[in-house]
Amino acid sequence: MVRLSIAVAGFTVAVLVLVVTLKEKFFDGGWATICFTLLVVAGCVVVRRQYDWVGRQRQKLDQVFELPKEELAVAKSAPPDPMQATAIFLTTDHWGPTIHTLLWVQRLLPGHFHSMVFVSAVQVEASAIAAPATVPQQKARIERSLDQLEAFCAREGLRTARFVAYGIDPVESLESLIKQVGALFPDSVCFSNKLILPANRWFSEWLHNPTALSLQRQLHFEGIPLVIFPVKLI
């Protein structure tokens, strides 16, 4: 309710300023203001539709690998062996792209990794007006994704573990978490993915891939390998 009240108040003030500007100085630059405002609104609509489309495609990929609740309830995997080669996967609340990446790793390095560790980060809003309920909701989505991933690995006879970090900056949180996990599993390699969009959506790839690419640069400076595989959305 507080967030809604603040949003309504801000919208009202913005509309009043715009109306006064158009009424008093329409021919002295007011027309340029309304044109610029319309362009900004149109850009926001395009970005929002892009995020919605990518979200639907990710959900479709999740559905391809989704296991029923009955199988999730009985799926158990052994903990990883720190002395074995370990694959560390960066994951989100969508498990489909991570399983796609895992299959890539198994295809390119068959039989090399028998221990899979999944790391993720819950972004905590820094704004004082952020609803406190958002953190538990994000955590629940992450846990559901991790349950699916561990069940998939259990079915394949793979060892698994999960680690979740909390922080304002997801790149910083994941970097710190990966360093901790890497210390536990010294013979490990990190894997992530980047979304490859259709040709008519190439301009918006930068909206969805900054975390993995930024983290890769940071980890490479620390001497920690992070391999990024493509995930094509169609």
Condensed to tens digits (0 to 9), the pLDDT of residues 49-64 reads 888 888 888 899 899 8
**Which of 226, 146, 148, 229 is closest to 195 using CA atoms?**
229
Mean pLDDT of the chain: 85
pLDDT at 204: 61
In the 3-class helix/strand/coil scheme, how is the chain assigned residue by residue? Answer: CHHHHHHHHHHHHHHHHHHHHHHHHHHHHHHHHHHHHHHHHHHHHHHHHHHHHHHHHHHHHHHHHCCCHHHHHHCCCCCCCCCCCEEEEECCCCHHHHHHHHHHHHHHCCCCCCEEEEEEEEECCCCCCCCCCHHHHHHHHHHHHHHHHHHHHHHCCCEEEEEEEEECCHHHHHHHHHHHHHHHCCCEEEEEEEEECCHHHHHHHHHCCHHHHHHHHHHHHCCCCEEEEEEECC
Partnered with residue 196 across adjacent β-strands are 232
Partnered with residue 56 across adjacent β-strands are none
Distance CA 153, CA 20 (A): 62
**Which of 100, 121, 125 is closest to 163 using CA atoms?**
121
User: Which range has the top average pLDDT, 2-6, 42-46, 206-210, 215-219?
Assistant: 215-219
**Which whole number is the average pLDDT over 167-189?**
92
Question: Looking at the predicted structure, is the pLDDT value of residue 19 above 50?
Answer: yes
Whole-model pTM? 0.81
In CATH, the number for domain 68-232 is 3.40.50.620
Residue 223: left if φ>0, alpha if ψ -120 to 50, beta else—which one?
left
179, 223 in Cβ contact below 8 A?
no
pLDDT at 128: 40
Query: How many residues in total does the chain contain?
Result: 234
Distance CA 123, CA 125 (A): 6
pLDDT at 202: 57
124, 98 in Cβ contact below 8 A?
no
**Which whole number is the average pLDDT over 143-152?**
94
Binning pLDDT at 50, 70 and 90, where does residue 206 land? low
Domain assignments of the chain as residue spans, ordered by start: 68-232
Condensed to tens digits (0 to 9), the pLDDT of residues 185-196 reads 999 999 999 888
